């Protein structure tokens, strides 16, 4: 559902016509609005299965380093939090990811739910998964209307702050990494 955007009063950037404080994060970045439901414990409830990963839930679990499947703290050892990444030729150190850390119990289930892991995955621990920025839709104003410049932009906070992006995902940078499993195939469960 499209929410009406407006120019931000008094400074450059985007706003919602009916903006409320919850529309922005602590960095002043505007977020996509989602309908969400919460369970009795106040943790985000709602569908995860069948590839339907709830964006609101991803954001919250990413922010808190909680497992997106159970919303409890992600697996952590002296080497850091547990992340699962696609297998690529690039090193995982310094990699940017929009997928939250996972708890040990759900690590295997996680690999089956994630479309980006179809060609295999790397299991990695990151002692310092730095909150880096946001991924979302970048727009600009063309004297009469907003125009999408980039449907899927990834911006560090320095460039995203209150400006021209409607954020959809949080981005962390995996640093101080230790590879636990170099490459594994997703096994249907
Ligand atoms: Zn879990």
The per-residue pLDDT string of the chain (189 residues; one tens digit each, 9 = 90 and over) reads: 457 898 888 888 899 999 999 899 988 899 998 765 555 555 555 555 445 567 778 888 999 999 999 999 999 999 999 999 999 888 999 999 999 999 999 999 999 988 899 999 999 999 999 999 999 999 988 888 889 999 999 999 988 776 799 999 999 999 999 999 999 998 877
Distance 66 CA to ligand 1 centre (A): 8
Residue (of 162, 157, 144, 148) closest to 14 by Cα position: 162
pLDDT of residue 42: 55
Distance 161 CA to ligand 1 centre (A): 31
Distance 74 CA to ligand 1 centre (A): 7
Q: Supply the pTM of this predicted model.
A: 0.86
Separation of alpha carbons 37 and 110, rounded Å? 21
Distance 52 CA to ligand 1 centre (A): 17
pLDDT of residue 160: 77
Distance 86 CA to ligand 1 centre (A): 19
pLDDT of residue 72: 95
Distance 109 CA to ligand 1 centre (A): 9
pLDDT of residue 55: 78
pLDDT of residue 35: 60
pLDDT of residue 1: 42
pLDDT of residue 50: 46
């Amino acid at each position: 559902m499209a929410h009406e955007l407006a120019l931000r009063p008094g400074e450059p950037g985007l706003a919602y016509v009916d903006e409320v404080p919850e529309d922005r994060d602590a960095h002043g970045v505007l977020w996509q609005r989602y309908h969400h439901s919460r369970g009795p414990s106040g943790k985000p409830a709602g569908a995860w299965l069948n590839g339907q990963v709830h964006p609101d839930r991803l954001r919250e679990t990413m922010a808190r380093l909680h497992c997106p499947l159970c919303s409890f703290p992600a697996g952590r050892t002296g080497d850091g939090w547990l992340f699962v990444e696609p297998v690529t030729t690039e090193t995982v150190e310094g990699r940017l990811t929009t997928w939250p850390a996972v708890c040990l119990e759900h690590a295997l289930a996680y690999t089956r739910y994630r479309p980006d892991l179809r060609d295999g995955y790397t299991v990695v621990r990151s002692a310092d998964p730095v909150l880096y920025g946001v991924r979302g839709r970048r727009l600009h104003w063309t004297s009469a209307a907003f125009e999408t410049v980039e449907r899927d932009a990834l911006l560090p906070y320095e460039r995203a702050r209150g400006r021209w992006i409607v954020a959809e995902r949080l981005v962390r940078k995996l640093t101080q990494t230790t590879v636990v499993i170099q490459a594994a195939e997703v096994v249907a469960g």
